Structure 1
Amino acid sequence: MRKLLPALMLAIAILTFTFNRPALANKPDGQQIFTASCSACHIGGNNVIVANKTLRKEALEKYGMNSLAAIKNQVTNGKNAMPAFGSHLQDDEIVAVATYVLGQAEKGW
């Protein structure tokens, strides 16, 4: 059962991203990209797969994910249960979603 939940959440995230890609204008909207691609696992800044690795400021700092470069790398390449989105999102979309995550962390989600 414990192995089934991460696989199920990963499948939901992939399906959510595949069928809900946001329509983007000239400048990508980080919130729209987050909602379409990330919120299945990270709704409200939480983490449904690894509960202590949230997107809240304290957790980002604790795990060295409190910079644009670190979040961009994580989104692009994935790690552990998080899939890589580098082949699904453009560079400017990754920057937009990373900027959104940092901003929301500062606001406390």
Structure 2
Amino acid sequence: MKKLLSVILLGVALFTFAIQSPAWADGDVAKGAQVFAANCAACHMGGKNVVNPAKTLSKADLEKYGMLSEEAIVTQATNGKAAMPAFRGRLKPDDLKNVAAYILDKADKGW
């Protein structure tokens, strides 16, 4: 009986976590696609990087450079870094969240 209860609880826990949305799902992916097309695609079309081809928006590169979270992407886009311009004041916080959600979604799907 104890083993059966443990299996059931484990099944419920796995099911709960399996249907939970990813941590970066705070943003709206569809709206993020529009923001990306208008502000990011010139340098990052298709997840590439025309300025620094080694730092793409692929999942592997995002993970390698510590950008595999909504917060990290929002911080980078807000403040800029190296050749990446700062979008503080040009994009609203919700726009930045949405574009981060879009980037993570596309990276997860392989662009």
TM-score over 0.5 for the pair = yes
Which structure has the larger Rg over C-alpha atoms?
Answer: 2
What TM-score bracket applies, with the shorter chain setting the length?
0.7 to 0.9
Residue in 1 that maps onto 2:11? none
Q: Which runs of 5+ in 1 are unaligned?
A: 1-26
Deviations 1:69-108 (A, max 9, x none): 1000001000000000011000000000000000000000
* SS class of match (1:31): helix
Q: Number of aligned residue pairs: give it.
A: 83
* Separation in structure 1 between the aligned mates of residue 108 and residue 59 of structure 2, nearest angstrom: 6
Residue in 1 that maps onto 2:68? 66
Q: TM-score, normalising length from structure 1?
A: 0.74
* Separation in structure 1 between the aligned mates of residue 39 and residue 82 of structure 2, nearest angstrom: 17
Asked if 1:47 corresponds to 2:49, the answer is yes
Asked if 1:107 corresponds to 2:106, the answer is no
Structure 1 stretches (4+) deviating beyond 2 angstroms? none
* Separation in structure 1 between the aligned mates of residue 67 and residue 55 of structure 2, nearest angstrom: 10
Residue in 1 that maps onto 2:34? 32
Of structures 1 and 2, the one with the larger relative CO (CA 8 A, separation 6+) is: 2
* Separation in structure 2 between the aligned mates of residue 75 and residue 40 of structure 1, nearest angstrom: 14
* SS class of match (1:29): helix
Residue in 2 that maps onto 1:93? 95
Deviation at 1:31, TM superposition (A): 0.2
